[in-house]
Amino acid sequence: MGERYDFVDVWTIPAPRSVVWRMVDDVANWPRWWPDYRLTEPVSTVAHGAGSRWHARVKADLPYTLDFHFDVLEHEPPRYVKTRVEGFFEGVVDWTLEEEGDSATRMTLHEQTETRWALINLAARVGLRRFLEANHAAAMRRGEEGLRRILAAGYDPPDLDR
């Protein structure tokens, strides 16, 4: 049995929800603004939305790389996406986007996962869990900063809703 984690991260992005949604929804470009994402590639015949499957590779501060797949289970533009992850960890990750006034978006990322790598599970059990949690927090912080930075630079994400 792995170690269970329940992370809730909240980002406030100074951009309209429609724009922020397009950034979240454009998985292929996550590495462009989220430095911990080294790779995102589609691995399904469904190109976008519910039913699509992605491979991701993530490297944060600790000396290991996470490889995992996620399937989009629910896709409700421009407010909600729910995914099932498997690989390094397994579980459910969802994003909820809420408008905050006319020009800001509150994004809530909720991750309920269980790690599957024996070495990481052992490390957590012998007292290193706080380092693993800090690694997650640092990756989330860089994601929020990267999203803010690319939007402030004038990046206009593609409109993927079909």
Q: 0.95 cut: is pTM over it?
A: no
Q: Does residue 49 sit within a domain?
A: yes
- The answer to whether position 161 is within a domain reads no
Average predicted confidence (pLDDT) for the chain: 95
- Rounded CA-CA distance 45/64 in Å is 30
Q: Within a domain: residue 120?
A: yes
Q: Degrees (nearest 5) of the Cα angle 120, 132, 135?
A: 130
Evaluate whether 34 touches 24 at the Cβ level (below 8 Å): no
pLDDT at position 158: 85
Dist CA 147 CA 152 (whole Å): 9
Check: CB of residue 83 under 8 Å from CB of residue 70.
Answer: yes
Residue 48, in any domain of the structure: yes
Note whether residue 146 is domain-resident: yes
Of how many residues is the chain composed? Answer: 162
Instruction: Specify which residues 105 forms β-bridges with.
Output: 13, 99
What percent of the chain is modeled with pLDDT above 90?
A: 92
Residue 29 lies in a domain: yes
CB within 8 Å of 8: residues ≥ 6 apart: 108, 109, 110, 111
Which backbone phi and psi does 133 adopt, to 5 degrees?
Answer: -65, -40
- Sequence-distant (6+) residues with CB within 8 A of 1 are 114
Q: What is the CATH number of the domain that holds 26?
A: 3.30.530.20
Examine residue 89 and state whether it is found in any structural domain, yes or no. yes
Boundaries of domain holding 26: 4-152
* Cα distances (Å, whole numbers) of residue 63 to 8, 34, 156: 24, 18, 34
Spatial distance between the Cα atoms of 132 and 136, rounded to a whole number of angstroms: 6
The 10s digit of each residue's pLDDT in 92-149 is 999 999 999 889 999 999 999 999 999 999 999 999 999 999 999 999 999 999 999 9
Could you give the number of structural domains in the chain? 1
Q: Is the pLDDT of residue 26 over 70?
A: yes
Residue 114 lies in a domain: yes
Dist. CA 20–CA 43, nearest whole Å: 24
pLDDT at 161: 62
> Hey, what amino acid is at 158?
P
**pLDDT category, 55, cuts 50, 70, 90?**
very high
Which three-class secondary structure state does DSSP give residue 133?
Answer: helix
